[in-house]
Amino acid sequence: MPFGYFLLVPGYALAIAFAVYGRLIEDRTHLAYRTAPAPDLPALTTAAQWGTHPAPGGASREVLEIAWLQGGAPRTADTALLTMRQDGLLRVDGQGEVSLIAGTLPRTPAERAIIDEHTEAGRHASAVTLGDLRDRLIGNQEIAAIGESLVQRGLAYESRQCTQFRVGHVLLRLCAKLYPMLAVIVVGTAFLRFAQNGAAGGLTTAWYGLTLAALMALASLACRMVSHAVLPDPVPGTALGQDVLRGARRDRSPYATGAVAAAGGGIALALALDGLDALGDQPGCEVMADCGVGTVAADSSAWWSDAFSGSGGDSGSGDSASYDSWSSGDSGSSSDSSSAGA
């Protein structure tokens, strides 16, 4: 086999392998969604569990699931922290140091985790920064259990799967970019030899070049199609999870953003969907952004994705970069996320 044909092997092999892998993963998530048992939620806010007369409100489990589907554990932690701040239970000063209002009682399991992590951090430092508290909360089991529950119900991918998706998209986009350039080089070389050797010796070479170029073009098209239509996007939410997100955005009224959301009691969902953007230009947003709120830690392949930009499909998420920053816990239970988006 001429050497040129060996150049086709990576493209066709990647297209076939990731097409099969993507299809298997999608079938598995649909099966999990159909067969997952109804989640068994514990009581959220009760005087016996959280103390005497806990304050109403807080980011509910359903809202935190929306936050996870939007941006994984970082967005979930941000939503819980910012909801407490907006409700006046947590204060962030100009240096990014966090303090809890005296007598603050947790209203949800996530807020209990925040208070516990704040107490633990305070034992090792004189001042607790928002960045440190956020990092601790991202790794907290209460937050991780939300992602694990969504994975078990077919609404979210595991973190390792998101990493594999991203690697697959990078390789497929690389092939889709390189093969057209190689095809041009092959055609140019073939016709140059045809011009030099004439019809007697160059016809075979020209035909070989055209055939190879056509196969390269098909390999590029196959890689592009698999990346855009078959291999899932490297975002936390599956296709079913993205449907939940779209439903939450469509039915979010009266969940407006900024002051309107705060007045209407919908700030938690606004924060889950839009992050810091839901707060507008409120004082302190710049400080919180400097502490990492609203950001995710990109992995070592981020520059590859930037170099070969383009979505693998229609994720419907505004935070597609957050795919690899979430982790799954060991156990957890949740309510039906579909009801959160309804």
Residue indicated by tokens 């400080």: 287
How far apart, in Å, are the Cα atoms of 303 and each of 35, 125, 299, 318?
A: 38, 35, 9, 19
What pLDDT score was predicted for residue 322? Answer: 41
What pLDDT score was predicted for residue 51? Answer: 36
Query: pLDDT per position in the chain (342 positions), as tens?
Result: 466 788 899 999 999 999 999 999 999 999 988 887 755 544 433 333 333 333 456 888 888 999 999 999 999 999 999 999 988 889 999 899 999 988 888 888 999 999 999 999 988 888 899 999 999 999 999 999 999 999 999 999 998 999 999 999 999 999 999 999 999 988 888 777 777 766 555 677 778 888 899 999 999 999 999 999 999 999 999 999 999 888 888 765 443 444 444 443 467 888 888 888 888 777 788 889 988 998 764 443 443 444 445 544 444 444 443 433 443 333 333 334 333 333
- The DSSP result for 249-311, as a single string, is HHT-TT--SHHHHHHHT-HHHHHHHHGGGGGTT-TTHHHHHHTTTT-----TTHHHHHHT---
What pLDDT score was predicted for residue 222? Answer: 96
How far is residue 60's CA from residue 299's CA, in Å, rounded to a whole number?
30
Side chain identity, residue 255: Y
What pLDDT score was predicted for residue 336? Answer: 40
Segment 99-140, tens digit of pLDDT: 998 888 888 899 999 999 999 998 888 889 999 999 999 999
Nearest by Cα to 81 from 334, 245, 331, 267: 267
Segment 13-42, tens digit of pLDDT: 999 999 999 999 999 999 988 887 755 544
